[in-house]
Amino acid sequence: MKIDVCFSPALYPAYHNPENIVVVVDVFRATTTMTTAFHNGVKNIRPVASVEEAKAYKEKGWLVGAERHVKRCDFADFGNSPFDYTPEKIKGKEIVFTTTNGTKAITLAKDAFRVIIGAFINLQAVAGYCLARQRDVTVLASGWEDQINIEDTLFGGALVDTLVNSGKYQTGSDAAIIARGMWTAHKHDLMGYMEQTDHLSRLKANHLEDSIPYCLALDIAPVVPELHIEKEILLLQI
Amino acid sequence: MKIDVCFSPALYPAYHNPENIVVVVDVFRATTTMTTAFHNGVKNIRPVASVEEAKAYKEKGWLVGAERHVKRCDFADFGNSPFDYTPEKIKGKEIVFTTTNGTKAITLAKDAFRVIIGAFINLQAVAGYCLARQRDVTVLASGWEDQINIEDTLFGGALVDTLVNSGKYQTGSDAAIIARGMWTAHKHDLMGYMEQTDHLSRLKANHLEDSIPYCLALDIAPVVPELHIEKEILLLQI
């Protein structure tokens, strides 16, 4: 089987295969946050691509997480920090969620065989999900407004490395080789590598860097949120 | 000043800046071949995006280089091997040129401040061109049918490294950091790194791997082809 990494939503048409498992990743912070929410007992999450949709849900009384350009939208109950989604606030609840890049990527991939949510905090759980289903895998990096980012590509490399090391997967293209090379070069000092990135600068500028070590921790939330579509509504569940 | 690397033509809208120098690269083999042709004395090259345009020129009596999917088009005088463009055949001549990915990237970038042609064989000449003009730089990797490839990204990393080491440039985004990391990790064994790539497999499958060491040689053709547009016709000249 093959695993490939799509470095940006803008590249998805060139990497898209409807038969694949697509792993959507937005390390800082949408997919880390959603995975955390499930680990903390949320019942389900409705990812929506636009702020307008999120606001409409809020007006109907839903709990809403909404972020644009790293900041919480003022109408929302939660922002995009994983620390917002504590068991006390979300256990057993249904929430609506929109972020700058991550939820757009989920919407883009929605017609794939399966769409799941990946982050460093559920890396091995995602690998196990893929190995159990014996399917080709595409990691879809959410990027930043269609630009490539280091952290999502690096997660792609980590999953490539894990699946190739299992002996069951091969790299699907040069992109997977590049991503795996980043992971093997930097896996022992993720934080040091991140110090160089655009997104860390953005988060620091908004005093939001407190969640970075959490976002880079491996396997502390071993759940795999999976996309379902019910009557045209996107719904993440575990 | 900033230097950035656009990993695929499909990402160009996210990296495009009309004020920048755009360095189009297609290491295997379009930009290596065009640079070679200029080094061997060609007068100018008209890059055209489609086979149909190239064929129409051929019917009007022009010398034409044309390739699709690594093979020479049957109507053409030359394919996409740098070894086709010897001084005996091209010195002082005007030629028309189309390839699978490289000439499309030139067409895409044509409205930038300047568009130039880069490859490992003219790396330092390209760096000198940029430093002399004191402009932000975007490397546009031609890729393979919008997928990322290692060799063009690696050239981007080499140019990032050269310009950043000059003290005059900074990396423009995470993409530039990723590409530079590839170059610093593999610059001492480019051929070993290439053995893993998709494109080397394609070239080998068509017995076209003879030009690979040439395409990876540094600074053996120190000329910088530059795009001009005359009455809507694209024209490369040095």
> How do the domains of chain B map onto residue ranges?
2-229
Whether A206 has a pLDDT exceeding 80, the answer reads: no
Match 């919008």 to its residue by tokens: B146
Query: Which chain A residue is nearest to residue B153, measuring alpha carbons?
Result: A178
Q: What contacts B189, CB < 8 A, 6 or more positions away?
A: none
pLDDT at A195: 86
A8 vs B contacts (CB less than 8 Å): 11, 14
Query: Which residues on B lie below 8 Å from A182 (Cβ)?
Result: 178, 181
Q: Which of B10, B181, B185 sits opposite A10 (nearest CB)?
A: B10
A-chain CB neighbours of B198 within 8 Å are 173-174
One-letter amino acid identity for A95? I
Q: Which of A67-71, A219-223, B118-122 has the lowest mean pLDDT?
A: A67-71
Is the pLDDT reported for residue A69 higher than 90? Answer: no
> Which residues of chain B have a pLDDT value below 50?
none
CATH class of A2-237: alpha beta
Q: Helix, strand, coil: what percent of chain A each, to 5?
A: 45, 20, 35
User: Taking a C-beta distance cutoff of 8 angstroms, is the pair B174, A149 a contact?
Assistant: yes
- CA–CA dist B201, A86 (Å, integer): 50
CB atoms within 10 A of CB B16: 16
Q: Which residue has the tokens 């809020």?
A: A58
CA–CA dist A210, B62 (Å, integer): 64
pTM, whole model, 2 decimals? 0.95
Q: Summarize pLDDT for B37-92 with one digit per residue, the tens.
A: 999 999 999 999 889 999 999 999 999 999 888 788 999 999 889 999 999 999 99
Report CA-CA distances (Å) from B197 to A137, A173, B131, B190.
Answer: 19, 8, 31, 11
**So what's the ipTM on this one?**
0.94
Q: Measured between CA atoms, how close is A103 to chain B, in angstroms?
A: 19
The residues near B204 (Cβ < 8 Å, ≥ 6 apart) are none
Residues of A with CB under 8 A from a CB of B: 7-8, 10-11, 13-15, 145-150, 153, 173-175, 177-178, 181-182, 185, 196-199
List residues of B whose CB lies inside 8 A of any A CB: 7-8, 10-11, 13-15, 144-150, 153, 173-175, 177-178, 181-182, 185, 196-199
Q: Which of A11, A138, A142, A148 to mutate to test the interface with B (most CBs of B within 10 A)?
A: A148
Shortest CA distance from A152: residue in chain B: B174
Helix (H, G, I), strand (E, B) or coil at A5: strand
Q: What is the pLDDT of residues A28-47, one digit of tens each?
A: 999 999 999 999 999 999 99
What is the architecture of the domain spanning B2-229?
A: Alpha-Beta Complex (3.90)
Å between B179 CA and nearest CA of chain A: 9
Give the model's confidence band at A1: pLDDT under 50 very low, under 70 low, under 90 confident, else very high. Answer: very high
Q: Do A199 and A151 contact (CB within 8 A), yes or no?
A: yes
pLDDT at B68: 87
Q: Where are the beta strands (DSSP E) in B135-209?
A: 137-141, 170-171
The pLDDT of residue A158 = 98
